[in-house]
Amino acid sequence: MIERDDLKAAIGSGLLTEKQAAGLIGLADSRRGARNDLAPGDEPFELFKGFNEIFIVIGMIILATGWAGVWAATTALDVYNATRNMVIAAVIGAALLWLLSEYFISRRRMVAPAITLSVMFAVNAAIGFIASMSDVFMVPQGDYTSVPLPLFLTTIALLVYWWRFRVPFAMAMIAVGLFIVAIVFTASRGGDVGGISDLFLLSAGGPFAWITLVLGLLVFAVAMMFDMSDPHRVTRRSANGFWLHVVAAPALVNTIALSLLDRETFGANLLLLFILGLFAVVAIVIDRRSFLIAAIGYIVALAAGVMGGEGASITVLILGIVLLLLGAFWERIRALILRLMPGFVPLHRLPPSHV
């Protein structure tokens, strides 16, 4: 094992520059924690490294609550300058969050505080931009014309935040932010969202489900770019890909599955079963279990709607057995499927089989 004293000696001898040594230390730190005890082929997933991170997150939440309370009280005392006070609070809050991020993310490399600070930064930016650029009193009346630009600027600010601190979770928030911007922009141009199902039903008549489908495909493509640039999953690029898959999978599966289930025909149910199987194969080939998790619920719903009663129970039982077998023999199943892949599939850019 290379110690930090070895790196200092390498810098002193000219073998490494300080920048190269810092990059190597950062790479080693990013792989510690949940990655240490992973079996070959398992997906890295880490929300916190220890209880001290939870302790710090609780402190951040209490601090943010107190900060919001102080500025709410200040705004109540000066109602005529409420917008100005909110903007000032957002600017000061952004500066404080940036300084905290420099310490807890760049220097301490903590996971849970990084996620918390990313969420807080996004909320703070949204409050600041919406307060300074939109007419919030018109939103309850259905006028969203002043909202898309502040939300878009919030997403850009979050992109800058990710560019500086490289928090993988922030990448998922950027994808969700673009989705919200697209939906709100379409609604401000006359689109009518009758319910949550309109965001996923292609037969609903509006453009929202198509927006969800297209953005899901784009997010999936970006996730694959991150994955294929780091097939051995040793850098944060694979973590960025993971969180983007978490966003892309529900968008794609929900839109296709709900649209087919809504037809209530045998042909549509058969097509849905085929597509869910295709999603399962894709998940195994790219070595991402998130697509399977998104599809499981629809397999159960399909079984309950088509078979009902005892037939649905048997299907769920079989599904449970299949999932346990996949979990236990994922690598062997994946190796078999990879051997059956056609030549145009870039297997060298995908995680290698460990069997």
As given in the structure block, the two tokens for residue 326 are 């996949």
Residue with tokens 């030549």: 343
As given in the structure block, the two tokens for residue 35 are 């990655």
Q: Residue 122 and residue 143: Cα distance in Å, rounded?
A: 23
DSSP state of 98: H
Helices (H), the chain: 4-13, 18-31, 51-77, 82-101, 112-133, 148-165, 168-188, 208-229, 236-261, 266-286, 290-306, 309-328, 330-339
Q: Residue 75 and residue 111: Cα distance in Å, rounded?
A: 34
Which sign, positive or negative, has the C-alpha torsion 298, 304, 310, 313? positive
State the pLDDT confidence band at 183, using cuts at 50, 70 and 90: confident
Residues in the chain: 355
- Give which of 112, 216, 220 is closest to 169, Cα–Cα: 112
The confidence score (pLDDT) of residue 155 equals: 95
Q: Which of 180-194, 198-212, 240-254, 298-312 has the lowest mean pLDDT?
A: 298-312
What's the pTM value of the predicted model, to 2 decimals? 0.79
The confidence score (pLDDT) of residue 34 equals: 45
SS3 273: helix
Q: Residue 293 and residue 280: Cα distance in Å, rounded?
A: 9
As given in the structure block, the two tokens for residue 143 are 């006028």
Asked if 166 and 102 touch (Cβ cutoff 8 Å), the reply is no
Predicted confidence (pLDDT) at residue 67 exceeds the cutoff of 70:
yes
The confidence score (pLDDT) of residue 77 equals: 65
Q: Residue 110 and residue 205: Cα distance in Å, rounded?
A: 46
State the pLDDT confidence band at 231, using cuts at 50, 70 and 90: confident
State the pLDDT confidence band at 163, using cuts at 50, 70 and 90: very high
For the segment 289-307, the average pLDDT, to the nearest whole number, is: 66
Q: Residue 208 and residue 184: Cα distance in Å, rounded?
A: 10
SS3 207: coil
Predicted confidence (pLDDT) at residue 99 exceeds the cutoff of 50:
yes
Q: Which residues contact 206 (CB under 8 A, 6 or more apart)?
A: 186, 191, 192, 193, 194, 198
Asked if 269 and 260 touch (Cβ cutoff 8 Å), the reply is yes
The C-alpha angle 227, 50, 42, rounded to 5 degrees, equals 30
Asked if 243 and 172 touch (Cβ cutoff 8 Å), the reply is yes
Asked if 7 and 24 touch (Cβ cutoff 8 Å), the reply is yes
Asked if 251 and 219 touch (Cβ cutoff 8 Å), the reply is yes
Predicted confidence (pLDDT) at residue 350 exceeds the cutoff of 90:
no
Asked if 243 and 168 touch (Cβ cutoff 8 Å), the reply is yes
Query: For a pLDDT cut of 70, what percent of the chain falls above it?
Result: 77
The confidence score (pLDDT) of residue 15 equals: 80
State the pLDDT confidence band at 258, using cuts at 50, 70 and 90: confident
Residue 45 backbone dihedrals phi, psi, to 5 degrees: -150, 120
The confidence score (pLDDT) of residue 45 equals: 61
Predicted confidence (pLDDT) at residue 342 exceeds the cutoff of 90:
no
State the pLDDT confidence band at 225, using cuts at 50, 70 and 90: very high
